[in-house]
């Protein structure tokens, strides 16, 4: 049944229960399906929420946004008081995500094999690999693309190899734009006949202006093997994966519950050396990002920080309190807004990292500037001025 045809509510009074996070009963139901609860507690909490009117269309929409369709289906399929047409729509959503996960897994094997045949080392670290590490089943984690990490020196050959597989770059650069983007960016997205942005070819974990300088060569040196559908692939070590997941979630203001769930599941399912995580986080200046991730997990999922992980400080708790309403809204965060840039600075505990972030943010032009104004090659250096003026206009608005 199409989602649009679902009834918005089911049941009569009693009135809707007060939402746990001043959001909605629909978001609370997602939390009940994802939180760290005993089976009895989860069953009772879900039953209580289902006894009140729910907007089923909204529930499915925010479950899709938060990337938790598999968790929603798993637990609601066991409940007895879900309207038949609603559970059927959720089942169809789950089966669609499972089919896509299986197709992407096969595509990952094809891409890795082709790059390997060209002598290009590659580390897939999200998508099917992360699903296998966390859940032992690629269909139990919702994802829509593939992320593969390579050495920066291999980028030109990797791009050429992907075109041999009928992938096309999502954005075409002039030679000058390409050189500037390679220095300041971190990935190329690729489209195929099966969809847009299906593959992300990365030579860094984040754009340079975020000032989290993870050593990619070190990530390769510490890589571990994981079996995915019977095939061995190289991926990040548990400690590096923990840092990368926290940094990625923070970059997007943790707006998807699935990112927090992944972090929690990694802490549960893998032998993480927390001394290494703490040392690396301190070196990179991201201790607050890691601590805030677990503070959010505690507030939303009821998950305590694992033994060995430093306890959250007042600043981390304050950040978590500010982020919870953003997550509960179930919408994307405007990563071009001034409030977003302020948040990114607030997430860094070291003054020098905040200053580096601000300086690089101001003076690093990218696709937005190149698309807004077309300058001839000899004037390419003026894109820094264009960047400054565009940021100033945003501040004034």
pLDDT digits (tens, 9 = 90+) for 68-84: 999 999 999 988 889 99
Q: What does DSSP say about strands 231-235 and 195-202: parallel, antiparallel, or unpaired?
A: unpaired
222 vs 80 pLDDT, higher one:
222
Mean pLDDT over the full length of the chain: 90
DSSP state string for 166-215:
T-EESS---HHHHHHHHHH--EEEEEETTEEEEEEEESSSS-GGG-----
The CA-CA-CA angle for residues 206, 207, 212, to 5°, reads 60
Q: Determine the straight-line distance between the first and last CA of the chain, rounded to whole angstroms.
A: 44
CB atoms within 10 A of CB 332: 12
pLDDT at 316 over 90: no
Torsion of CA 60, 65, 68, 69, to 10 degrees: 40
Measured N-to-C along each axis, helices 287-301 and 238-251 cross at an angle, to the nearest 10 degrees, of 80
* pLDDT value of residue 7: 44
Measured N-to-C along each axis, helices 69-76 and 84-117 cross at an angle, to the nearest 10 degrees, of 140
Confidence band, pLDDT 50/70/90 cuts, at residue 6: low
Q: Domains in the chain, ordered, with CATH?
A: 3-82 (no CATH), 92-236 (3.30.460.40), 237-342 (no CATH), 346-396 (no CATH)
9 vs 98 pLDDT, higher one:
98
% of the chain at pLDDT higher than 70: 93
pLDDT in tens, 366-396: 999 999 999 999 999 999 999 999 988 887 8
* pLDDT value of residue 317: 85
* pLDDT value of residue 203: 97
* pLDDT value of residue 167: 97
Cα dihedral across residues 383, 386, 392, 393: positive or negative: negative
CA proximity to 369, closest of 387, 348, 356: 387
pLDDT at 12 over 70: no
Strand partners, 231: 228
As a whole number of angstroms, the distance between CA 38 and CA 174 comes to 56
In contact, 266 and 297? CB cutoff 8 Å: no
* pLDDT value of residue 186: 95
Lowest mean pLDDT among 4-18, 239-253, 312-326, 375-389: 4-18
In contact, 236 and 130? CB cutoff 8 Å: no
């Amino acid at each position: 049944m199409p989602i649009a045809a679902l009834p918005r509510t089911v049941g009569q009074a009693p009135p809707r229960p007060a939402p746990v996070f001043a959001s909605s009963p629909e978001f609370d139901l997602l939390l009940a399906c994802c939180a760290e609860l005993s089976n009895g507690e989860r069953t009772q909490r879900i039953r209580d929420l289902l006894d009140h009117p729910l907007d089923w269309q909204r529930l499915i929409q925010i479950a899709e946004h938060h990337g938790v369709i598999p968790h929603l289906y798993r637990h609601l399929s066991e409940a007895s008081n879900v309207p038949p047409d609603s559970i059927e729509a959720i089942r169809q959503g789950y089966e669609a995500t499972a089919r896509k996960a299986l197709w992407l897994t096969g595509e990952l094997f094809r891409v890795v094999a082709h790059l390997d045949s060209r002598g290009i080392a590659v580390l897939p670290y999200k998508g099917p690999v992360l699903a296998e590490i966390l859940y032992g089943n690629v269909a139990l984690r919702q994802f829509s693309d593939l992320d593969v990490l390579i050495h920066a020196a291999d980028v030109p050959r990797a791009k050429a190899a992907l075109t041999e597989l009928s992938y096309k770059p999502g954005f075409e650069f002039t030679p000058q734009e390409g050189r500037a983007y390679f220095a300041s960016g971190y990935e190329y997205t690729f489209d195929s006949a099966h969809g847009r942005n299906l593959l992300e070819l990365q030579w860094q974990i984040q754009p340079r202006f975020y000032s989290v300088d993870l050593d990619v060569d070190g990530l390769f040196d510490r890589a571990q093997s994981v079996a995915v559908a019977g095939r061995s692939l190289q991926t990040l070590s548990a400690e590096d994966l923990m840092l990368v997941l926290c940094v990625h979630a923070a970059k997007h203001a943790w707006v998807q519950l699935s990112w927090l769930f992944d972090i929690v599941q990694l802490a549960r399912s893998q032998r993480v050396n927390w001394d290494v995580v703490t040392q690396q986080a301190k070196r990179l200046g991201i201790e607050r990002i890691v601590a805030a991730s677990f503070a959010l997990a505690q507030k939303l999922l009821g998950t305590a920080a694992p033994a060995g992980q430093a306890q959250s400080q007042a600043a981390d708790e304050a950040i978590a309190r500010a982020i919870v309403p953003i997550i509960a809204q179930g919408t994307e965060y405007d990563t071009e807004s001034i409030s977003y840039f302020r948040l990114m600075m607030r997430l860094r505990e070291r003054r020098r990292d905040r200053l580096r972030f601000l300086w690089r943010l101001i003076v690093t032009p990218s696709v937005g500037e190149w698309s807004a104004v077309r300058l001839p090659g000899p004037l390419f250096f003026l894109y820094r001025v264009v960047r400054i003026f565009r940021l100033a206009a945003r501040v004034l608005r």
